[in-house]
Amino acid sequence: MKSVFIKVIRDSYYKDRTIGKVFVDGEFLGYSLEDAYRGNSVKIKKHTAIASGVYEVKIKRSPSKGVDRMYIENVPNFVGIQIHSGNYIKDTDGCILMGLSRTYDGDNSIITDSRKAVDKLFEIVKNAKNSYIEVINLNQIQ
C-alpha cells in the first residue's frame, strides 16, 4: 500500500462558489465545486471554502448517513468536512463536491457524473496507506 496525494487546484471564483480541478498523484480525476473562497479566514458553514493548505483524508463512518465517507481532517476551526457527490452548490454545506465534468447553466456551475468521480476517489483512498489533499488557489491572492 502506498500513500495517495490528492490535489485540488481552484481556478474559477464566483461570489457563491469556487470551482477547481482534482488530480490524484498527478493524474487528472475530475472537477471540484465548493463554497466561495474568501481568503484563508475561518471556515463558515455554507459560506466559505476551506483554507488552502495540506490536510489528511480519512475514511470514517458518517453519523448522519450511516455509511463510510471521505473526511478532510484538521481543517482549522471546523470539523466534518467531506469529499462527496453533488451537482450544485446547494448540495454542499461546506464540503468539496466532485464530478467528472463541469458545465455552466446561466448563473449556476454544475458538475456531473458526481457519484462516479467520488466512487473512484473513494476506492483509491480506501486502498491507500495514507491519503493527503492539498488545496491550492490558482490566480487568487492567498
What would the grid cell of residue 107 be? 448563473
Residue 140 — very low, low, confident or very high, per pLDDT cuts 50/70/90? low
What would the grid cell of residue 60 be? 470514517
Residue 126 has pLDDT above 60, yes or no: yes
Residues sharing a CB contact under 8 Å with residue 102, sequence separation 6 or more, in sequence order = 19, 31, 33, 109, 110, 111, 112
DSSP 142: -
Question: Of the candidates 108, 105, 64, 114, which has an alpha carbon nearest to the alpha carbon of residue 86?
Answer: 114
Residue 142 — very low, low, confident or very high, per pLDDT cuts 50/70/90? very low
Section 124-137 average pLDDT: 96
pTM for this one? 0.90
Where do the H-state alpha helices sit in 69-110? none
Q: List pLDDT tens digits, range 40-50.
A: 666 777 778 88
- List, as one string, the DSSP characters of 11-70: EEE-SS-EEEEEEETTEEEEEEEESPP-SS----TTT-PPPSEEEEEEEEE-TTT-SEEE
Section 65-70 average pLDDT: 89
